[in-house]
Amino acid sequence: MDYILDNVGEWKNRLVNNSIKSFEEMTAQRWVRIVAIVGGYLLIRPYLLNAAAKKQKQQLDREAEELGLGKSDAPDANDFRGKGVKVAKGEV
């Protein structure tokens, strides 16, 4: 058990020392590189998430078709709520 605790303590010390040295040795070029990478990720991430969601929806629709769970001709709840009915201003 002492061996494990000694190793964990050593790992913590190495992590702290390496982190401090990394920040001390950062040049302007490295900071610009990090900012560019993080900024690019933040700009591209929404598009990647939308593409993944679209692909997942297509896959779920395809699986629903295979199982016969597609659109049915039976009325749904929106049909009973007056879907598509236009009400003129003041008629309500």
Res 92 pLDDT > 60:
no
CA dihedral defined by 39, 41, 44, 50, rounded to 10 degrees? -140
3-state secondary structure of 26: coil
Q: Map out the domains of the chain as residue ranges.
A: 28-67
pLDDT single digits (tens) 17-65: 999 999 899 999 999 999 999 999 999 999 999 999 999 999 999 998 8
Question: Model pTM?
Answer: 0.51
Position with higher pLDDT, 2 vs 60:
60
Position with higher pLDDT, 56 vs 71:
56
Average pLDDT over residues 6-14: 94
Res 70 pLDDT > 60:
yes
How far is the CA of 79 from the CAs of 19, 28, 50, 71, 76, in angstroms? 61, 62, 30, 14, 6
